[in-house]
Amino acid sequence: MKTLYVGRSIIPSQSANSIHVMKICDAFAELCEDFELIVPENDEFEIEGDLFDYYGVRSRFPINRIKQKKGIGGWYRYYFALSAFSLIRKKKCNKIITRDPIVAFLAVLFHKKVVLDLHGELAHLCGRAYRIIKLDFFRKSKYLNIVMITESLTKYYEKKYGLDPKSVTVLPDGYTPENFMSYSDLPLLPEQKMRIAYAGSFGVGRGYEIIQELAKQDKDNKYTIYGGVTEDALKVTGQNPPVNISFKGFIANRDIPEALCNQDILLLPYQNTLIAKGEDTGKVMSPLKLFEYMAAGRVIIASDLQVLKEILNGSNCYFAAPDDVSSWKEIIDHISANRAEAVNKAEKAKQDVKQYTWRTRAERMLELMEEKNVRGNFQ
């Protein structure tokens, strides 16, 4: 039985959601004999070399691309969903995984098993069509399986849309263990001067301002930023960064494991408000780099946010007040003076993350579609 993943991510690109799509599809391709991906046509970003290697993906699977339509604005989401579903029917697919609510709605209409994988607000994904989540025939359908990335997001949908939490399966994001095997045993805290890093963008709520002020106060240690350049830092703070920060720019996901494992401390300075493509995901996120940080076996300092505590705790990381630089500096000093304790926390994180693999996530989604034991009636 053919399995298809449908996503609106541009592939390839530098976006985190494109990484998510390629990683989870890697797992589906390993688990399913007949698997394909459907995404929009890419006319925005080019890479050198192999697409799958760029994402650190081992499997090779067919990628179907839906033509971009210029000049139709928000209507493209409907064009994409209808085009993708036409392809689904043509390929006689009965198992669908998607982050697109409109595709999920069409799947239910045509009695096809579907997993709707939600990472944020429905209205942000499908505009006024968000009302479908209020339709009982849709949200209570035996063909629909709703997955969310955090308990916090599930509570949000319960409060805003009256969605029964019992109808939702929470599956956090994940990581690929094999990508870290060659690097995660590298020495940790081997020298007096500590190597401290951040991997990610400079968008609103990512916390780069905290890192820059921290580096100014912590002149004895070296800071590395993966994902941006000096010009990006200037746009955020309006100030020249201190000399102990080096910027490596964007690096492909295949290079992330080695980059992270060559550090001692990894920073997650998220703020309460975090804007991603116009949506505030600060209270409901499941950031990819959190799992990659844990897999790297490095010491993690994270903002003290409830949503991050769904995965992290006092035994596998250090928490700092999101917007208080002095809190982050105190923890840096504490780690320097208590290295054995810090190493233990890093090792605990490395063990704890083993339950959050992309393969485990994909397996659970496939199980959900089998547990309801239904068959599609229409082709």
Tens digit of each residue's pLDDT (9 = 90 or more) over 137-172: 999 999 999 999 999 999 999 999 999 999 999 999
What's the pLDDT at 376?
Answer: 42
What average pLDDT does range 61-78 have in this prediction? 85
Residue 166 neighbours by CB under 8 Å, 6+ apart: none
pLDDT score of 111: 95
In what helix (H) or strand (E) does residue 35 lie, and over which residues does it extend?
A: strand 35-40
Q: What angle do CA 97, 102, 104 make, to 5 degrees?
A: 35
Q: CB 210: neighbour CB atoms within 10 A?
A: 23
Cα–Cα distances (Å) from 293 to 207, 268, 363, in that order, read 16, 9, 23
Tell me the pLDDT of the chain averaged across its residues. Answer: 92
Q: Give the C-alpha separation, 152 to 165, whole Å.
A: 11
pLDDT at 374 over 60: no
Instruction: Give the number of residues written for the chain.
Output: 379
Q: What is the pTM of this model?
A: 0.94
Q: Is residue 110 scored above 70 in pLDDT?
A: yes
Find out whether 51 and 58 touch, Cβ atoms under 8 Å. no
Mean pLDDT of 114-124: 92
Q: Looking only at Cα atoms, what is the longest distance across the chain?
A: 66
What is the band of 69 on the pLDDT scale with cuts at 50, 70, 90? confident
Residue 258 clears pLDDT 90, i.e. is over it? yes
Which residues share a beta bridge with 354?
none
Distance CA 168, CA 171 (A): 10
Query: Could you give the C-alpha distances from 284 to 42, 74, 300, 305, in angstroms and in order?
Result: 29, 24, 20, 10
pLDDT of residue 164: 95
